[in-house]
Chain A
Amino acid sequence: MFNWMRNKRMFVLMIVFILFVAVLGFSISDRKKLSWPENFIMDSTGFLQELIYRPAGYILGLFGDLANLQEVYKENEQLRITAAAYARDKINYNQIEQKNIELMEALEFTERQKGSNKYKYLIAQVVSSSTDPYNPTIRINLGSKDGIRTNMVVVTTKGLVGLISRVDPFYSSVMPITELDVRSPDSKGIAATVLKEGAAQEEQESFGIIDSYDKDTGMLMMSKIAESDKLKKGDTIITSGRGNVFPYGMVIGTVENRQVGDFGLTHTATIEPAADFEKLTNVFVVQMPNMEENEQ
């Protein structure tokens, strides 16, 4: 019944199966550098997708805009008001910045301390977006040649969108923060705090870690909040910048409610994300000044 032909086929099948399990297990890890075939395929598909995504976005986005012209008009109105406020604040800001620099000089700050809050915002165009529900990766057109590294933060004008998960020479993959999960093997937590008007980075009191996303309710979960913490509903949550992995001050969302955590020792809060994750065209990659030094 089992002639040698069948057996050979069986054998090949087993080898292929084992090979696949090995590849799956290997690719899941946190890899800093990708091999050249991966780079080649990722870059060339990225290039071709880039040619399609933008025109499609423009044309279909135009139809969307025409459909809700009334809202666009309102949005325009609001933008004008913000622009006016911006012009006023800019003057104020320039004065304060000047003063800040003078004070830093007077207090003899080191170069590293001076530059620690100077983030570079690299603008990137979205090239394509995965439709796989388990892996909603967004591809952007900046890569390692532009100074992108893994774990850099990606934001839009509204707030935090995701983290860079894979980098190849000219394009890179962004993992949206909707994929954060404590239980996953590559789980990441973002240290977060409450935005307070007129408080410095060191004076932040609240602390928690954004580490998962509830797909059913569309809310982020912030855990490890101390019981005595003053965090309350309606607060704006920003990244705290502690640990120097993620930058300080990126808006994550607003607190929806707060409850006692699983073990009763700490509290958790549900946070409504500020950014949209659908149909993105332009995003910013935040480059931290000390990140490059660490790499070298």
Chain B
Amino acid sequence: MSMQRIIVVMLLFFLSEGTIFYWLLPDSLTGRVVPHFILAFVLFAAIYRNRHTALILGLSFGLLQDLAFYGKIIGVHSFTMALVGYTTGLLMERRRSTMLMAMSMIVMSTLVYDTVVYFIYSVFKLTHGTFEWALLHHILPSLFLQIGFSLALYVPIRRWFESSGKKKSDEEEE
């Protein structure tokens, strides 16, 4: 699957986050279970392609998310997603990535992502809850969704990224 197709799929998932997913979620869970579908794609790109793809995908889709729901501030998701994508790519560069490895990496990176987002918002005084509150209120519940989502789409996404990256990655290795 080519990169263009992956981007189209990511766009569809991005659009579903604020619309279909929002309607599927029961009222009591909105604001608590936060979908990170795009982040999952970025992390898969970091693990199964390279860190530069993850950086660019994270930067652009983060910016898209920032702008599409612009209410308070622009750049939080863009910055964090690019940062987390790049670091994950850097850590996983020289390692054989098994499924367990990829999953634990996704869990870690999602936690780091949510933590960084929380701290940016609190530095700019846009949120006043304590970190423990944020952790229990939405970071941990949304982690379960993230695990479920990445497990469900593990096989197809891995295949897409690996098949489209083979030709290029040989050249980049040198």
Query: Using a CB–CB distance below 8 Å, which chain A residues touch chain B?
Result: 20, 23-25, 27-28, 34, 38, 41-42, 45-46, 48-49, 52-53, 56-57, 60-61, 128-137, 139, 165-166, 173, 175, 179, 181, 183-186, 215, 278-279
* Extra A-B contacts (12), CB below 8 Å, given A56-B23, A131-B35: A23-B75, A25-B124, A38-B67, A49-B15, A52-B15, A52-B20, A56-B19, A60-B24, A131-B17, A139-B69, A173-B70, A215-B129
Binary interface encoding of chain B residues 109-129 relative to chain A, with 1 for a CB under 8 A from any of its CBs, else 0: 000000001101100111111
- Is the CB of B52 closer than 8 A to any CB of chain A? no
A128 touches B71 (CB 8 A): no
Question: A60 — which chain B residues lie within 8 A by C-beta?
Answer: 23-24
A129 to B24, CA, bound (A): 13
Q: Which of A20, A38, A56, A137 contacts B69 (CB 8 A)?
A: A137
Interface pair B121/A134, CB less than 8 Å apart: yes
Tally of contacts, chain A with chain B, CB under 8 A: 127
Q: Which of B27, B64, B129, B134 contacts A45 (CB 8 A)?
A: B64
Establish whether residues A133 and B137, one from each chain, have CB atoms under 8 Å apart when the complex forms.
yes
Q: CB-CB < 8 A to A45: which residues of B?
A: 15, 64, 67-68
A24 close to B74 (CB less than 8 A): yes
| Pair B31/A136 contact, Cβ less than 8 Å | yes
B144 to chain A, nearest CB (A): 15
28 contacts between A and B (CB under 8 A): A20-B79, A24-B75, A24-B124, A25-B124, A28-B72, A34-B70, A38-B70, A45-B15, A46-B68, A49-B18, A49-B68, A52-B20, A53-B18, A53-B23, A56-B23, A129-B18, A129-B19, A131-B17, A131-B21, A131-B30, A133-B31, A134-B117, A135-B71, A135-B72, A139-B18, A165-B72, A175-B71, A184-B125
B69 touches A173 (CB 8 A): yes
Is B34 in the interface zone, CB < 8 Å from A?
yes
Contacts of A279 in B (CB 8 A): 22-23, 27
Minimum CB–CB distance from B10 to chain A (whole Å) comes to 13
Report the separation of the CA atoms of residues A56 and B76 in the bound assembly, to the nearest whole angstrom.
28
| Segment 5-38 of B: residues with Cβ below 8 Å from A | 15-24, 27, 30-32, 34-35
CA distance A214 to B16 in the complex (A): 29
Q: Tell me, rounded to whole Å, the shortest Cβ–Cβ distance linking B64 to chain A.
A: 7
B14 → A minimal CB distance (Å): 8
Contacts of B137 in A (CB 8 A): 133
Are A27 and B74 in contact, CB atoms less than 8 angstroms apart?
A: yes
B138 interfacial by beta-carbon distance below 8 Å: yes
Query: Which residue of B27, B67, B75, B79 contacts A41 across the interface (Cβ within 8 Å)?
Result: B67
| B73 adjacent to chain A (CB < 8 Å) | yes
* Contact (A278, B18) CB under 8 Å given A24-B75, A135-B72, A183-B125: no
A57 CA to B20 CA in the complex, in Å? 8
**Count of chain B residues near A, Cβ 8 A:** 43
Which parts of B52-87 form the interface with A (CB within 8 Å)? 64, 67-79
Task: Decide if A134 touches B126 in the complex (CB within 8 Å).
Answer: yes
C-alpha gap A132/B35 in the complex (Å): 9
Q: How far is it, in angstroms, between the C-alpha of A134 and the C-alpha of B20 when the chains are bound?
A: 20
B residues 135-150 touching A (CB-CB < 8 Å): 137-138
Given known contacts A24-B75, A60-B24, A131-B17, A185 and B125 CB-to-CB distance under 8 angstroms: yes
Contact B71 A27 (CB under 8 A): no
Q: Which residues of A contact B120 (CB under 8 A)?
A: 24
Q: Could you tell me the distance in whole angstroms from the C-beta of B81 to the nearest C-beta in chain A?
A: 12
Given A45-B15, A56-B20, the answer on whether A28 and B73 have CB atoms closer than 8 Å is yes
Shortest Cβ distance from B109 into chain A, in angstroms? 18
**Chain B residue nearest to A165 in the complex (CB):** B71
- List residues 88-103 of chain B with CB under 8 A from any CB of chain A: none
Q: Distance (Å) between the CB of B5 and the closest chain A CB? A: 17
5 smallest beta-carbon distances between A and B, as pairs:
A128-B18, A137-B71, A27-B74, A130-B69, A45-B68
Contacts of B117 in A (CB 8 A): 134
Query: Which residues of B lie under 8 Å from residue A128 when comparing CB positions?
Result: 18-19, 22, 68-69
The chain A residue sitting closest to B123, CB to CB, is A24
**CA–CA, A173 to B68, complex, Å?**
9
Closest to B16 in A: A52
A207 to B14, CA, bound (A): 44
Question: Which residue of B has the minimal Cβ distance to A139?
Answer: B69
